[in-house]
Amino acid sequence: MRLLVTGGAGYVGSHIVWALSDRGDEVVVYDNLRQGHREALPPTVRLVEAELADEAALDAVLGDGHWDGVLHFAALSLVGESMQRPFHYMTENAGLGIRLIDACVRHGVGRFILSSTAALFGNPETMPITETTRIDPGSPYGESKLMIERALYWADRIHGLRYACLRYFNAAGADPAGRSGEDHRPETHLIPLIIEAALGLRPEILVFGDDYPTPDGTCVRDYVHVSDLAQAHLAALARIETGSATYNLGSGTGHSVLDVIRSVERVSGRPVPFRMMPRRPGDPAVLVAGSDLIRSETGWTPQYTVLDDIVATALAWRQAHPNGYGNAA
């Protein structure tokens, strides 16, 4: 297949690009490199460095021959920041995402995969969270992704653009072969932050809340390995040959903040200094995915089902890249 991947130089996007390249697809990455890294990509993949808002650049790429599909990862993704800059998130995520869908329709692209989010569900009343759980975004970030999902619904209904909305829970880990990993600046994800504390790259970890109704009082989240997410995208590309679909993607198992700290300590053999802090507003106690639908419809099954195994891949990548991309040890 010939595929365009927006935001393909980012954390999740780059792992999907490697998976597509590994199976022989022709992949072009469209990325402004504000969050992504050229070093995260296979050397044979063409990179178009441009803004999604640059309509001329986007039209030039989409007009360059036939495309079998577009995979869309380019987005702002910080929930807290979206609460401070709601209209910026609506414009950047929803506005540009909808313009991308429109461009795909104009250029005859037949398939579209959206990197969506579990933030659509806010504070759900029951677990696990399935595709039938009531949608109630708890942030402008979640709302912006919902707006793109709705635009895709109408693009299919009116123009026949087949799509898959893949609602991730907590992407984690790194490519087992060490080709791509997690390098956000600043880093915001829990596992790499805890690894940094274990390696002495930050003084401590702040744990927000120890009085939640969970076994140890700290928040529980569903961590799904990024390579498993990549395989889900391949499965979704095949699935939408017969019609559009929406799936929740997670491991189906919850781990608390303290569970993750202990896992990093086990895998690294080093203590993790941490300090308890008051709860942060808006943090749900538990978020765990129910991924039965994608399993039954595509046969997708996560290969990384043990938290220590997920952590081990993240730790190995960080030890090989103590300063991130371009700074290998």
**CA 163 – CA 184 distance, rounded (Å):** 28
Q: Please give the residue range of the domain that contains residue 294.
A: 190-221+253-320
Give the domain CATH number at 154.
Answer: 3.40.50.720
How sure is the predictor about 327, in pLDDT bands with cuts at 50, 70 and 90? low
CB under 8 A, 24+ apart: contacts of 241-246: 241/162, 243/162, 244/152, 244/153, 244/156, 244/162, 244/163, 244/164, 245/163, 245/164, 245/165, 245/294, 245/297, 246/116, 246/131, 246/149, 246/164, 246/165, 246/167
- What's the rounded Cα separation, in Å, for the pair 196 and 202? 6
Residues 22 and 167 in one domain: yes
Mean pLDDT in the chain?
A: 95
Judge whether 141 counts as a catalytic residue: yes
Same domain, 78 and 39: yes
Helix (H, G, I), strand (E, B) or coil at 3: strand
For 72-101, what is the mean pLDDT?
95
Q: Do residues 205 and 193 make contact, with C-beta atoms less than 8 angstroms apart?
A: yes
Interval 281-310 mean pLDDT = 93
Q: Check whether residue 154 and residue 197 sit in a common domain.
A: no
Same structural domain, 101 and 199: no
Q: In this structure, are 211 and 293 located in the same domain?
A: yes
Pair 141, 42 in one domain? yes
State both tokens at 177.
Answer: 């072969």
Whether residue 163 is found in the same domain as residue 296: no
Residue 217 to residue 283: CA distance in whole angstroms: 13
328 — pLDDT class (breaks 50, 70, 90): very low
Among candidate residues 30, 141, 163, 247, the one labeled active-site is 141
* Total count of domains within the chain: 2
State pTM to two decimals.
0.95
Taking alpha carbons only, the member of 35, 102, 98 closest to residue 90 is 98
Section 150-158 average pLDDT? 98
Do 49 and 197 fall into the same domain?
A: no
In a domain, 150, yes or no: yes
Residues 129 and 208 in one domain: no
Q: Is 32 strand, coil or helix?
A: coil
Compute the average pLDDT of residues 193-202: 96
